[in-house]
Structure 1
Amino acid sequence: MKASFHVHQGPRCADLLSCNVHSRRCLRRKVCRVSATAAPVKDEIGSVPNATQFTNDIISEEKKYIMQTYARPDLVFTHGEGARLYDAHGKEYLDFAAGIAVNALGHSDPRWLEAVVEQAGTLTHTSNLFHSVPQVRLAKRLVEQSFADKVFYANSGTEANEAAIKFSRKYARLQAGVDPYDAGAEAPHEVVSFTGSFHGRTLGALALTYKDAYKIPFAPGLPGARMVKYLDLDAAAAVIKKGKTAAVFVEPIQGEGGIFPASRDFLQGLRGLCDEAGALLVFDEVQCGLGRTGKLFGYQNFGVEPDILTLAKPLAGGLPIGAVLVKQKVADAMKPGDHGSTFAGNPLVTRAAEAVVDIISEPAFLESVVDKGERLRSSLREALKGNEHVKEIRGLGLITGIQLDQPAGGVVTAARDEGLIVITAGAGDVVRLVPPLTITNDDVDLAVSILASVLNSLQAQNQTV
């Protein structure tokens, strides 16, 4: 069946079954592109016609046409609004995963949507061969509100970390006084990371990532990667050495690793070790940055400034973007042609990111993140007090982990059945809560109620989770 087109005719499309707009409103004066596999638009909170068949068909075609690198439940989300997601049956879910800490403003935020639609109708992409306005405006915002002097754009968190590795190694070559383009020259090149870390899945970032299951099938990895115990400053001092170490990568709060905040002493100690060794300190804030902790940047909780900081997940509110924030000495090491990207920082994604940064950086917004995070953890501790499966509840701002004594997959499934989306972390034994930063106190209370019901009922039944 060929794709067809129809023009939106008002708040509700006349041709509901062929409109490919899944939100509760079509965009006025826009043309909707329709394909043979387009999902039908629902009534306000209704199910799509033949929801079970629709869901089965989508899942069947997904298995047929898409590589099976993800384990997914038999669930098709069709739209979202705020902190809520809706499946094809019209069931409502409270989203405490936010696309893995991506949808910081929730789903279909009207301010974000307005920025994206306006920019999409103006200028979407030019490549980095030319200047564009949103790219500059976003960089100015990020620099003026951080330690950084310059910004480099990427398309994801792992790309941002790859760039940071490259920047660090060239900087080290220049500091060593060698020609950076001499293939035979020797200079510090080792990159240090920590147990429990997650820096991405491309080969360079993967070498800095802790989990062997992610790395072994693709060995050999990047040479010069050194890994030491997280929060162990003595172990770090044993490997961070002048003449060897180019950079040290650390997450101020480990996300994938299990929601483990660093200590002020540890990060300050790393700063001192890097200064002594002439190495760069890199903070990976792909998950914990941009308001997630209640500060615009995670490092601001610890009184330590890095030389490089990587951002990604929440930056463009769901569109793919990464950013590397650097001090001037790092920027000076890089010259035209040293690194680049076709799509990175295009006008569409940077305009979306402008809207996100403007909203999140408001002091009252950040204060609300702190308040809601404290409410979440204190309420969880009270509701789960005495539950033998719960070992610890930890976090900062709106990144929280519930440490269990066994795998958390059953809790994730049971919570989803009750209308709450959460995910795992660590060794699969942590329930990870990274909701939109826009959640309400009522949302917090509902999530706590569902999690308490799930965990306490499983304990009462003497079942494993």
Structure 2
Amino acid sequence: MTSLFNNYARRPISIVKGQGTIVEDQTGKSYLDFTSGIAVTNLGHAHPAIVEALQKQSEKLWHISNLFESPAQEKLAEALVADTPLAHAFFCNSGAEANEAAIKLARKHTQKHVIITFEKSFHGRTFGAMSATGQDKVKQGFGPLLESFRNVPFNDIEALKSAAGDDTAAIMIEVIQGEGGVNVLDQAFSDAIKEICEEKGILLIVDEVQTGISRTGTRYAYEQTSLKPDIVTLAKGLGNGFPIGAMLGSQEMFETFGPGSHGTTFGGNPLAVSAAQKVTDIAFEKAFIDEVNEKSEYLLQLLQPILDSGAVKAVRGKGLLLGIECNTEDASGIVQKAENAGLLLVPAGPSVIRLLPPLTVTKQELEQAASILKTIIPSTVSTAPE
């Protein structure tokens, strides 16, 4: 009998250590980790520069609270907003907290209450973020949710136009819906969002919790679109495994979040900031991002024979956030077979498997993963029921 709640469908292995892309379980078996803790360890496990930064900071100061000035937070904020439409940062502990802050900021700034979100989106499991999420399975059993969210189909311009009214404070969107199936924002839809926001004075919130920190081949995924966000949310890869989230806002938002308007006890603590600063120092370098895009192109080439064979319906995504849509309605069998073969994957809805390797993955490791996938996908599909 476990002393833990049973709210996770845990796999029957325990990962005890990792280095780079390779992790090891309690029996000594090694795996290629193509989950990265669900897009978290973007720089791989136990990256030496981050280990060193945390060790040094741990000997100085762990926590002092946000009642005092923080030059380290200032430096990290400057790195995150540089060369963007954004000007200020608020630090918290997770993506859900970042999205809660974004919801509060948008409503307080506009004095309007409706926020448009999208079907198959995922914004977190706190009450506000859960209400914003466009997946019923996340909401079941919790009773009435917040009524201030208007959910419309993703990439549907007419539905968005119909939903956007005088009561709309913001549109909240993921450029790539990670949990919802690795669904990519259309260029036409991006242009329509930008036009609607400008015409109606609606704020734009871009949820970059999974797509940010160079995961998709640019610092932020929105940089590959025509979108100009007023607010951006971050977490996951920002701390490479150390809990930290951030909400970035434009200059116009500054006065809205005055003293006492929002807060957190642990957000932006010295340990978290030291990890995140080292992450941005590495992951925002042009040469590093160029390598991410090269690896993405190489991985897509390696996966092309699987697609050409008809064993899968589609391969989509950006950078090293890729989804393989399978010919079966339940891709869990593929995930299990991959695990047995030494490759850790994570699903994105019932029929899509996500590839989320560390951005530091080597080409040899990409080849190994593709070889495993070529072996298991046809056999899994061939045994699926008609």
Return the offset for 1:341: 0.3
Shift of 1:377: 1.8
Q: Which residue of 2 aligns with 1:327?
A: 250
CA distance in 2, matches of 1:408, 1:357: 34
Is residue 230 from structure 1 mapped to residue 168 from structure 2 by the alignment? no
Is the 8 Å Cα contact of residues 377 and 394 (structure 1) preserved in structure 2?
no
Structure 1 partner of 2:174: 251
> What is the TM-score with the length of structure 2 in the denominator?
0.97
* Secondary structure in structure 1 of the residue aligned to 2:378: helix
How much does 1:458 deviate? 2.9
Structure with larger RCO (C-alpha < 8 A, sep 6+): 2
Report the CA distance between 1:64 and its aligned residue: 1.9
Q: Secondary structure at the match of 2:67?
A: coil
SS across alignment from 2:24: strand
Aligned length: 385
Aligned-partner Cα distance in 1 for 2:381–2:348? 21
Partner of 1:162, secondary structure, is: helix
Which whole-Å CA distance do the structure 1 matches of 2:43 and 2:296 have between them? 15
Q: What is the Cα deviation at residue 131 of structure 1?
A: 1.5
> Match for 1:287: what amino acid?
Q
**Structure 2 stretches of 5 or more lacking a match?**
none
1: CA distance, partners of 2:249 / 2:309: 46
Alpha-carbon distance, 1:384 to partner:
4.2
Q: CA deviation at 1:127?
A: 0.8
Alignment of 1:92 with 2:30, yes or no, is yes
Is 1:437 the counterpart of 2:375? The answer is no
Residue 55 of structure 2 is aligned to residue 117 of structure 1 = yes
From 283, 290, 308, the counterpart of 1:385: 308
| CA deviations over 1:221-254 (Å, ceiling 9, x no partner) | 1121100010011110101112x00111000111
Partner of residue 202 from structure 1, selected from 122, 126, 136: 126
User: Quick check: 1:191–1:247 contact (8 Å CA) kept in 2?
Assistant: yes
Tell me the CA shift for residue 65 of structure 1.
Answer: 1.5
1:270 and 1:459, CA in 2 relative to 1: closer, same or farther beyond 3 A?
closer
What amino acid does structure 1 have at the position aligned with 2:355? L
Tell me if structure 1 keeps the 8 A contact 2:20–2:43: yes
One-letter amino acid matched to 2:69: H
Structure 1 letter corresponding to 2:248: L
SS state of the match for residue 197, structure 1? coil
Letter aligned with residue 440 of structure 1: T
Task: Report if the CA contact (8 A) 2:307-2:313 is conserved.
Answer: no
Secondary structure (helix, strand or coil) at the match of 1:402 reads strand
Q: Among residues 209, 212, 215, which one is paired with 2:139 in the alignment?
A: 215
What is the CA–CA distance in structure 1 between the aligned matches of 2:11 and 2:198, rounded to whole Å? 47
Q: TM-score, normalised by structure 1?
A: 0.81
CA contact (8 A) 2:331 2:347 kept: yes
For the residues of structure 2 that align with 1:96 and 1:151, how far apart are their CA atoms?
30
Counterpart position of 2:286: 363
Counterpart code for 2:119: T
Distance in 2 between residues matched to 1:261 and 1:395, nearest whole Å: 6
Cα shift at 1:299: 0.8
1:354 and 2:277 correspond: yes
**Mapped contact 2:193–2:227 kept (Cα < 8 A):** no
SS of equivalent residue, structure 2 residue 13: coil
Corresponding position: 1:298 with 2:236:
no
- Which of 119, 136, 140 is 2:78 aligned to? 140
1:46-95 Cα deviation digits (max 9, x unpaired):
xxxxxxxxxxxxxxxxx522111001121011100000100111111000
Shift of 1:130: 0.8
Letter in 2 for 1:342: T
DSSP 3-state at the match of 1:75: coil
How does 1:133-172 map onto structure 2 within 5 Å? 133-172=71-110
Match of 1:457 among 367, 373, 379: 379
